[in-house]
Amino acid sequence: MSSTEEIWRYRQRVSWVIGRYGIKQKNFEKSYPIAKAFLEWYDIISERTHNQRDQEMVRLLKEYVKKMNSDKN
């Protein structure tokens, strides 16, 4: 794969990250000009989002269990 193709591939992934998470592209490109950094940034954002979803699921499960216990009484 040529370096141009590789950069384009990373750029598409970065564009998706920017679009999905609402990061300002101008600031993002200034902060992380290297393709490898784009992927690291993506992993960080992805992990944070996953953790937030896990926390939300735990919160909802606790509420559900609490409601079920109160309904039994």
Give residue-wise pLDDT tens across range 5-64.
444 455 555 555 555 555 555 555 555 556 666 777 777 888 888 888 899 999 999 999
Integer Cα distance of 50 and 52 in angstroms:
5
Radius of gyration (C-alpha) of the chain in whole angstroms: 19
DSSP assignments along 8-40, one per residue: HHHHHHHHHHHHHHT--HHHHHHH--SHHHHHH
Domain that holds residue 42: 3-72
The number of domains in the chain is: 1
Task: Work out the mean pLDDT of the chain and round it to a whole number.
Answer: 69
